[in-house]
Every structure is written in C-alpha cells, then in structure tokens.
Amino acid sequence: MKLITDWKSTLTGAWSIRLLILAAVISVLPVFIALVSPDLLGVNPLIFAAIAAGVNLIAIPARVLVQPTSSLWARFRRDESGAVHKKTVGVFAAGGVALASAVTFIGDWEGLRTTAYRDIVGVWTVCYGETKGVRPGDRYSEAECDAMLAREIIAYEAALDRCLQPEVPVGMKIALVSWAYNVGPGAACRSTLVRKANAGDLAGACKELPRWNRAGGSVIRGLSNRRMSERAMCLKALET
C-alpha cells in the first residue's frame, strides 16, 4: 500500500474525515451516558445512538463532495489521461482518392451552375448546391466550385462524425455525406438513419435513405433518384 502524495492536507482538510471523527465521538457518548446515568445528563442515550448513525450515513456522500481545502477533486476533473474519446474518422480530410470520389459523386448529383440561381424552394444557390452567403449575380469558375465543394465535403463529414459513432466503409461515408450535404447535418444527426447506424444496423441505416426524397413538402423525382443512388452505394460498400 502507498500513501497519496498530499495525505496530510487530505487528512486535515477533508470534510469526510471530519465527519467520521465526529461520528466516532458521538458513537462513544451513549456508552458514556450509560455509565454515568442518563438521568444525570437529562438526555436519552437512544438519541445519541440515532445521531451517531445519522452522522455515519452523512459521511458516505461526504466522501464524494468537493473538498474545500484540497485540490484533489479539481485535478481529478481536469485529468483526461484515461478518457476514451470518440475517434473522428475524417476519411476525406486527407484528400486523395476518397475526397475525389466524393466530389465526383456529390457534384454529379448537385449539378454545376457557376452563376447564382434560385433553387426549387427559392434559395439562392451556386456551384454544386452551395447556399451559404450566396447573393444574386455571384459567379465562380469551375475550379473555384470544385474547391468549394471539396471544402464543404470535409466540413460536412466532420459535422456528421460528431453524431455518427461507428467507422463505416468509404463508400457508405460518401453516400451519407452526400445525403447530409443535401439535408443538413442537423437533420441528419437527429435522424432514424443515424440512430440505426449507431446501434450497429448499418444496412438498415442505408435503407433509410430513400425516405429523404421531399423538398417543400413534396416528393421530388430528382431527390428520389439521388437517394436510391446513395442507397445503392451505401449497401454496396457493406458487401466488401
């Protein structure tokens, strides 16, 4: 056995130690009273026994309370050396074939428009479905649109990874990022699809994709086709 490094400050400053000492003192009082005569003190010894039991019970939760004069609890809360952190998959962040494949797949479905336009629900859009900060008259080159899409794919993957717990095959990740890029990471993370994936039902998660085929409350054929394509890529990736 080995003493903790600051055993002196813990022994003198810990409230649980103080309560245990108090409990021990109170526990002796009934014996003392029994010896000297309860009538002399005018107190029922059973009351002292009850108080002693109560203080002993209080000492149990006191052990986990913050100790005002000790830094043990603060150091314990700050220490993350034994923590288990969720691994961020980030398959697209490194670039390469995976990112290029994602750009091609998502870009083909989004379609390239180098001049700003209103989408099917009236939102100003440009390049491969980019909507953030887009204004009428905005123009970009194809290379600029490709770079913009690549950045967005990496960002959407990171957002999806914050709620998608398991590592998944690259093909499935492309399909899911394509879907999240289309519906938004907030909706994606709240979905039954992600819940199924996190529960280990990856095939069931893939099969949820066709349900996301509406825009403005109506079923859109283009979205239905896209979801079926994403579903096919998702399930195919699970076969390898």
For the segment 65-106, what is each residue's pLDDT rounded down to a tens digit? 544 444 554 554 555 444 434 444 589 988 899 999 999 999
pLDDT value at residue 9: 59
Adjacent-strand bridge partners of 139: 115
pLDDT value at residue 93: 87
- Angstrom distance (rounded) from CA 213 to CA 139: 29
Burial 165-202 (b: 16+ CB within 10 A, else e): eeebbbbbbbbbbbbbbbbebeebbebebbebbeeeeb
- Angstrom distance (rounded) from CA 6 to CA 4: 6
Comparing 71-75, 173-177, 223-227, 233-237, which segment has the lowest mean pLDDT? 71-75
pLDDT at 217 over 60: yes
156-213 pLDDT, tens digit per residue, is 999 999 999 999 999 999 999 999 999 999 999 999 999 999 999 999 999 999 999 9
Confidence category of residue 16, pLDDT binned at 50, 70, 90: low
Q: Are 124 and 118 in contact (CB under 8 A)?
A: yes
Contacts of 186 (CB under 8 A, 6+ apart): none
Q: What is the pTM (predicted TM-score) of this model? A: 0.61
**Other CB atoms within 10 Å distance of the CB of residue 139:** 10
Q: Are 173 and 89 in contact (CB under 8 A)?
A: yes
pLDDT value at residue 50: 67
Confidence category of residue 155, pLDDT binned at 50, 70, 90: very high
pLDDT at 238 over 60: yes
- Angstrom distance (rounded) from CA 98 to CA 88: 16
Helix (H) or strand (E) holding 209: none
Confidence category of residue 154, pLDDT binned at 50, 70, 90: very high
Q: What domains are there in the chain, each with its CATH number? A: 8-71 (no CATH), 96-111+141-239 (1.10.530.40)
40-61 pLDDT, tens digit per residue, is 556 666 665 666 566 556 555 5
90-146 pLDDT, tens digit per residue, is 899 888 999 999 999 999 999 999 999 998 889 999 999 899 899 999 999 999 999
Give catalytic residues, as residue numbers. 110, 119
pLDDT value at residue 120: 80
Residue written as token pair 């970009």? 140
